[in-house]
Amino acid sequence: MSLIKEYWHKLSSAKHFYPIAGALLPWLLIPALIMLAWASWQGLVVAPADYQQGDSYRIIFVHVPAAWLSMMAYMIMAVNGVIYLVWKIKLADIVAASAAPIGASFTFLALATGSLWGKPMWGAWWVWDARLTSELVLLFLYLGTIALRGAIDDRQRAGRAAGLLGLIGAINIPIIHFSVEWWETLHQPATVSKFGAPSMHPSMLVPLLVMAIAFTLFFFAVLMIKIRAGILEQERHSRWLAALYSDSGTSSISPAATGNSIEQDESK
Amino acid sequence: MMLCALRKQFAREMLGAFRQPGDALAPVVFYLIVGTLFPLALGADPQLLVKIGPGAIWIAALLAVLLSLHKLFRADLDNGYLDQLLLLPCPLFLLIGARLLAHWLQTGLPILLVTPLLAESFGLDYNLLPVLLASLAIGTPVLLVLGAINEALTLASRGGALLALLVLPLYVPTLVFGSGAVYAVQFGESPAAHLSLLGALAVVSLLFSPWAVATALRISID
Amino acid sequence: MSNFFAMGGYATYVWSAWGLTAVVMGLNLLLPLRQCRKLRKELE
């Protein structure tokens, strides 16, 4: 049990997570790129055109994963925000702050690709369909959290405020989603403008799932990079970081190296 | 003894309103003005006004509540009163509950009283009035408490339009269920479902918001 | 081959969507990398 505790303690320390993030990175990024390439080829070339929508349905392969990622990123942001709020673990704040802009960009992507899909299908660049409208509200939630974090000067305060806001947002997302679906059925009398997903043949479903996994791996890869950047920024005055990067070329008996091994874990 | 401090606190809040009636009337006037903007912008075709009426009135109420939020904490933050509140032995969330109640009585209640006027200006049928008032009566407290949380969160921040950006996503369900209830009656259906959903939102948000506001205040001020 | 690029007449939409995706993902990858590089340089 204490082994788990010790492991957990190490993992939540920026100093220990920094190299772990770096080590994980290639294992996330390379499979992601391979799967992206394969799924793109499958989606754009191999999968047959849809009976009703022709080739325009191929946008689904980027639209749906982007939408799924936008949700997942928000959950990661919200959970880490709460961890920071309650347990004051600084790394959690870095993770939350890193996940937010990535998630927001995927939300924007989901909306833009949704529009590009909608125009040939429904003739309009924007339809007030439940899913798109929910996604739009999600974008506002993201932008609000990012803006709040940016508008508060004190870093700790900003992290805690963003954490509380993320929690409130996360609780509200299912409610908002439900209310928007409710709203759609309210005001659409006969014609249902649902975002028609074509009935999924395996030749379409498999690339879609692979694409979703690829997007997820890619998200985590990019998150690792951003977390490292966040750690670099937060810890730039600490000794362990200085030792790590000014060590290049100097011998191991330099004061920086010895200082590194006996110092306390001050980066928590 | 705890209740005694609460009553005094509440009395103080209400008294403040009467000392500055201009401040207290502002949300109501804004409500009426926004309501007037709709026909001015969209044309006064009676059929159109009847159609957009419930939604427009709800939007006007939402904006009026939103605009009144700055009164909740800013002034007291500036004159140090808020710091004192945080130090009182009375639990913060109770004090906040008292303040929110007082604020609603000064904002939401006047809005309700004036709604029949606005409803008439849109030419809404009289049978819509009960559901309109009910939906606003349940909905404006929700808007108020959700707004209060975000107002408390933005106390330490710089941005001005930040509050609106933060709060509008959270307002969506209330707006949908609130205006939906009135539209249901307009279409000849029962508003029961909408009002119960709105009621559920109200119960949950009213229960948890004092705590959330207190947390947000501590984050911003401590 | 030209069929592939034409995307059954929906070329603008499909390629814009995929192109936008590539741009967004590319930026998500490159901007943090650049940030890391800059911060590391400051340390040395």
Q: pLDDT tens digits, residue range B143-160?
A: 999 999 999 999 888 766
> Both tokens of residue B36?
């007037």
CB within 8 Å of A245: residues ≥ 6 apart:
C40, C43, C44
The larger pLDDT score, comparing residue A252 to residue A238, is at: A238
Q: What is the pLDDT of residue A123?
A: 84
Q: How many domains does chain B have?
A: 1
Three-state SS annotation for chain B: CHHHHHHHHHHHHHHHHHHCHHHHHHHHHHHHHHHHHHHHHHCCCHHHHHHHHHHHHHHHHHHHHHHHCHHHHHHHHHCCHHHHHHHCCCCHHHHHHHHHHHHHHHHHHHHHHHHHHHHHHCCCCHHHHHHHHHHHHHHHHHHHHHHHHHHHHHHHCCCCCHHHHHHHHHHHHHHHHHHHHHHHHHCCCCCHHHHHHHHHHHHHHHHHHHHHHHHHHHHHHC
Predicted TM-score (pTM) of this structure:
0.88
CB within 8 Å of A90: residues ≥ 6 apart:
A14, A84, A234, A267, A268
Considering only the beta carbons, identify the residue of A119, A228, A242 that sits closest to C13. Answer: A119
Q: What is the pLDDT of residue B160?
A: 67
Do B172 and A180 make contact, defined as CB atoms within 8 angstroms?
yes
Do B219 and A141 make contact, defined as CB atoms within 8 angstroms?
no
Q: What is the pLDDT of residue A167?
A: 95
Q: pLDDT tens digits, residue range C1-44?
A: 677 777 777 888 899 999 999 999 999 999 999 999 999 888 87
Cβ–Cβ under 8 Å, residues A170 and A103: no
CB within 8 Å of A50: residues ≥ 6 apart:
A56, A57, A198, A204
Which of these, A190, A192, A170, lies nearest to A181 by C-alpha position? A192
Q: Domain span at residue B97?
A: 2-221
Lowest mean pLDDT among A37-46, A86-95, A197-206, A213-222: A197-206
The larger pLDDT score, comparing residue B24 to residue B129, is at: B129
Contacts of A144 in chain B (CB under 8 A): 162, 165-166, 169
CATH topology for A20-186+202-231?
Four Helix Bundle (Hemerythrin (Met), subunit A) (1.20.120)
Q: What is the pLDDT of residue A190?
A: 38
Quote the minimal CA–CA distance from C20 to chain A in Å.
7
Average confidence (pLDDT) over A70-84 = 96
Average confidence (pLDDT) over A201-221 = 92
Share of chain B above pLDDT 90, in %: 67
Q: How far apart are CA A149 and CA A230, in angstroms?
A: 14
Q: What is the pLDDT of residue B92?
A: 84
Letter string b/e over residues A53-68, b meaning 16 or more CB atoms within 10 A of that residue's CB: bbbbbbbbbbbbbbbb
**Domain limits of chain A?**
20-186+202-231
Share of chain B above pLDDT 70, in %: 94
Letter string b/e over residues A143-154, b meaning 16 or more CB atoms within 10 A of that residue's CB: bbbbbbbebbee
The larger pLDDT score, comparing residue B147 to residue A241, is at: B147
Quote the minimal CA–CA distance from C40 to chain A in Å.
7
Phi, psi of A54, deg, nearest 5: 65, -140
Q: Crossing angle, helix B21-42 and helix B46-68, to 10 degrees? A: 150
Average confidence (pLDDT) over A181-195 = 64
Share of chain A above pLDDT 70, in %: 87
Asked if chain A contacts chain C via 3 or more Cβ pairs within 8 Å, the reply is: yes
Q: pLDDT tens digits, residue range B177-195?
A: 999 999 999 999 999 999 9
Average confidence (pLDDT) over B117-125 = 94
Could you tell me the pLDDT band of residue A199, with boundaries at 50, 70 and 90?
Answer: low
Do A164 and B201 make contact, defined as CB atoms within 8 angstroms?
no
Q: What is the pLDDT of residue A254?
A: 41
Q: How far apart are CA A12 and CA A92, in angstroms?
A: 8
Q: pLDDT tens digits, residue range A103-128?
A: 999 999 999 999 998 888 888 888 88
DSSP code of C37? H
In the block, which residue shows the tokens 């998500």? Answer: C28
Three-state SS annotation for chain A: CHHHHHHHHHHCCHHHHHHHHHHHHHHHHHHHHHHHHHHHHHHHHHCCCECCCEHHHHHHHHHHHHHHHHHHHHHHHHHHHHHHHHHCCHHHHHHHHHHHHHHHHHHHHHHHHHHHHHHHHHCCCCCCCHHHHHHHHHHHHHHHHHHHHHHCCCHHHHHHHHHHHHHHHHHHHHHHHHHHHHHHHHHCCCCCCCCCCCCCCHHHHHHHHHHHHHHHHHHHHHHHHHHHHHHHHHCCCCHHHHHHHHCCCCCCCCHHHHHHHHCCCCCC
For the cut 80, the answer to whether the pLDDT of residue A200 exceeds it is: no
Mean pLDDT of chain A: 85
Q: What is the pLDDT of residue A249?
A: 44
Chain A, nearest residue to B189 by Cα: A186
For the cut 50, the answer to whether the pLDDT of residue A258 exceeds it is: no
Considering only the beta carbons, identify the residue of B157, B172, B216 that sits closest to A176. Answer: B172
Question: With 0-12 CB in 10 A as exposed, 13-18 as middle and 19+ as buried, what is B73?
Answer: buried
Q: Is ipTM > 0.85 here?
A: yes
Do C18 and A228 make contact, defined as CB atoms within 8 angstroms?
no
The larger pLDDT score, comparing residue A28 to residue A13, is at: A28
For the cut 90, the answer to whether the pLDDT of residue A80 exceeds it is: yes
For the cut 90, the answer to whether the pLDDT of residue B127 exceeds it is: yes
For the cut 80, the answer to whether the pLDDT of residue B19 exceeds it is: no
Share of chain A above pLDDT 90, in %: 58
Calculate the CA B24 to chain-centre distance. 13
Do C24 and A120 make contact, defined as CB atoms within 8 angstroms?
no
Q: pLDDT tens digits, residue range B40-62?
A: 999 989 999 999 999 999 999 99
Considering only the beta carbons, identify the residue of B154, B169, B177 that sits closest to A141. Answer: B169
For the cut 80, the answer to whether the pLDDT of residue A247 exceeds it is: no
Chain C, nearest residue to A32 by Cα: C25
Quote the minimal CA–CA distance from A59 to chain C in Å.
6
Average confidence (pLDDT) over A16-26 = 93
CB within 8 Å of A158: residues ≥ 6 apart:
A148, A149, A150, A151, A152
